[in-house]
């Protein structure tokens, strides 16, 4: 079993991340199907399960283990990895909510300010500028 993503799986991950960055909400299986040109629910479901098993996305479930509506989210693994990279360069890096601006901020990088609508967007911008 290979951990390499197929083109379809890469498209799904990119869509989930982009949707979350733009709306700060999860995505539904039907939205993935429409965005990625998948006509079969079972094919979309299979790919989402594979991606969740590989840690590329998260599927939020209720207490009974059923996926909740619009519960497909980007993996926290990416933001955690980027924060760790930033902390290698600047040990005091932190992400916090700015109530004045109603935005997330990455703090602790001297002379720089990174702001985003979501924590992942702010961290991604900071990571691109410092490590990318």
Domain boundary among 58, 74, 90: 74
Domain boundary among 43, 74, 105: 74
* Residues 63, 12 within the same domain: yes
**Structural domain boundaries enclosing 93:** 77-130
Q: Tell me the pLDDT tens digit for each residue of 2-31.
A: 468 899 999 999 999 899 878 878 899 999
Give this prediction's pTM: 0.59
* Residues 63, 117 within the same domain: no
C-alpha span between 34 and 96 (Å, rounded): 34
The answer to whether residue 2 is domain-embedded is no
Residue 17, burial from CB neighbour count under 10 angstroms (0-12, 13-18, 19+):
buried
The answer to whether residue 82 is domain-embedded is yes
C-alpha span between 74 and 105 (Å, rounded): 19
Q: Which has the higher per-residue pLDDT, 32 or 123?
A: 32
Residue 52 corresponds to which tokens in the numbers above? 């969740």
CATH code, domain carrying 52:
1.10.10.10
* Residues 12, 69 within the same domain: yes
* Residues 81, 56 within the same domain: no
* Residues 67, 93 within the same domain: no
* Residues 70, 85 within the same domain: no
* Residues 64, 11 within the same domain: yes
Q: Tell me the pLDDT tens digit for each residue of 78-129.
A: 677 778 888 888 888 888 877 777 777 888 888 777 877 667 777 878 888 8
* Residues 86, 104 within the same domain: yes
The contacts of residue 32 (CB under 8 Å, 6+ apart) are: 12, 15, 16, 38, 44, 48, 72
Residue 127, burial from CB neighbour count under 10 angstroms (0-12, 13-18, 19+):
buried
Calculate Rg over the CA atoms of the chain.
Answer: 16
Number of domains in the chain: 2
| H/E element, 62 | none
């Amino acid at each position: 079993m290979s951990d390499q993503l197929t083109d379809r799986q890469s498209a799904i991950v990119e869509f989930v991340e982009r949707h979350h960055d733009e709306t700060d909400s999860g995505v539904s299986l039907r939205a993935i199907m429409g965005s990625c040109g998948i006509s079969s629910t079972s094919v979309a479901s299979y790919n989402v399960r594979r991606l969740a098993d590989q840690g590329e996305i998260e599927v939020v479930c209720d207490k009974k283990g059923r996926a909740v509506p619009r519960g497909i989210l980007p993996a926290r693994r990416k933001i955690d990895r980027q924060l760790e990279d930033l902390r290698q360069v600047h040990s005091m890096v932190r992400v916090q909510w700015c109530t004045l601006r109603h935005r997330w901020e990455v703090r602790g990088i001297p002379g720089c300010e990174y702001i985003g609508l979501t924590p992942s967007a702010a961290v991604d911008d900071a990571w691109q500028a410092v490590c990318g």
